[in-house]
Amino acid sequence: MDSRALEEMIKEQMKQFMEIDENIIEREVLEKIGDLKRSPHIVIISGLRRSGKSTLLKLIRERHYPDEPVYYFNFEDERLLSFGHNDFQLLLETMIKLAGISNVMFLDEVQNIKGWEVFVRRMHDSGMKMYITGSNSSMLSRELGTRLTGRYVPIELFPFSFGEYLKIKKIEHEDLLDMETRAGVKKGFEQYMIDGGIPEFVRFERKEFLRSLMDTVLYRDIITRYNITEETAFREMVLYLFSNYGNELNSTRLKRDLGLGSENTVKKFVSYLSDAYLLYTIHKYDPSARKQIYSRKKIYISDSGFIETTSFRFSKNLGKLLENIVFLELKRRGLDIYYHRNGSECDFLIREGPSITNAIQVTVDLGDHKKRGYSGLLEAMRAFNVKRGTIITKDRRNTENIEGYNIETIPIWEWILDDNQ
């Protein structure tokens, strides 16, 4: 690559990286990352495109390295078409020339360059503190597993949580016992269900941004990268999944309805969407690992803003929408999540080590507890000897003991904002 062009890019990117934006809010994950400052491990931050990874790097720099020289480079720049793994040394030498000696390096979307892991390992072994972002979980994990085993700590960055959404919207939420505060929080949650948490959309509220982001991920990160020839069928499957989130994935029916060659094609497409952080899947829990792996997966969408933008059924699926938001919060908390079905269904089981420690049911209102909430929840609690169960509703609270099982009913907005839940 031309050294002069590379130098200009580094200058331009470093200038933007060092600028302080007073409107940036601190992400909840920042404290966890701060604990890793003195760790020798590489910090790998992954997540959906435009979920705030680059901004998070700026926050890390501002909070933890405010007066130190650092290196930064973003590999999403379209001028890098000729950049190859042999150019990493030139990149390093140019950074040293421009910024002097530093022990801290930030690399954005590094998975775009084949062979990146060799350079990162060399920098790490030389004592460099590395912060890396990426938006494809499969590409990152493959290289991490071969070259960087034991040398990194993974951090997944999600779109704004409800708490972060309230901060960016300047909605007070510290004292939920205050009636005016509670009213503001409840109103904020009504909008959060529709908006979701993609930072740029939350700031500017332009729906075309979400559509553009979806198209970019589908075309650039999936269709082009994996050379998908059945593009129409793939896009139809995406529309189907985004309209049927919270349900079990029936690969046989999808294969038939979309005219795809095999169930493996369906599973492959789903894995591409998962790798790009557009959706997540969870297994039905079974003590037998083999049965668990071969059970049907349930699908959840990475942000409710996508649901409102792409789904046919947004207004008719309030219960599923709440369920999706609860799933994302459980995922954000780093929990091991499954579902239960054996006659009745329980939305979520939480596993810690070898044991199921909590069962969670999501329902819009207390009125349908007996029909859906209690039956599936109690069945799961009996099956796995779980003494603690939670029913998450849109706006009701209750606590009761049934057959010796403690069940707490709590509004979803309160549950999300309670760190002890």
In this prediction the pTM is 0.94
Over residues 192-209, the mean pLDDT reads 92
Please give the mean pLDDT across all residues of the chain.
Answer: 91
Residue 257 pLDDT level (bands cut at 50, 70, 90): confident
Q: Indicate the helix (H) or strand (E) that contains 384.
A: helix 374-384
pLDDT tens digits for range 164-180: 999 999 999 999 889 99
* Residue 312 pLDDT greater than 90, yes or no: no
Q: Specify the CATH number for 3-156; select among 3.40.710.10, 3.40.50.300, 3.90.600.10, 3.30.950.10.
A: 3.40.50.300
Q: What is the CATH number of domain 318-421?
A: 3.40.1350
* Residue 393 near residue 360, CB atoms below 8 Å: no
Over residues 365-384, the mean pLDDT reads 78
* Residue 413 pLDDT greater than 70, yes or no: yes
Q: Which fold has domain 206-316?
A: Arc Repressor Mutant, subunit A (1.10.10)
- Taking the domains of the chain in order of start, what are their residue ranges? 3-156, 206-316, 318-421
| pLDDT attached to residue 421 | 62
Beta-bridged to residue 362, according to DSSP, are 392
pLDDT tens digits for range 349-363: 999 999 999 999 999
Residue 370 CB-density burial (10 A; 0-12 exposed, 13-18 middle, 19+ buried): exposed
Task: List C-alpha distances in Å: 325 to 12, 249, 279, 290, 304.
Answer: 38, 19, 12, 29, 7
Among 306, 309, 192, 319, smallest CA distance to 246 is for: 319
Residue 369 pLDDT level (bands cut at 50, 70, 90): very low
Over residues 210-228, the mean pLDDT reads 94
Residue 328 pLDDT level (bands cut at 50, 70, 90): very high
Look-up of token digits 């059970």: 295
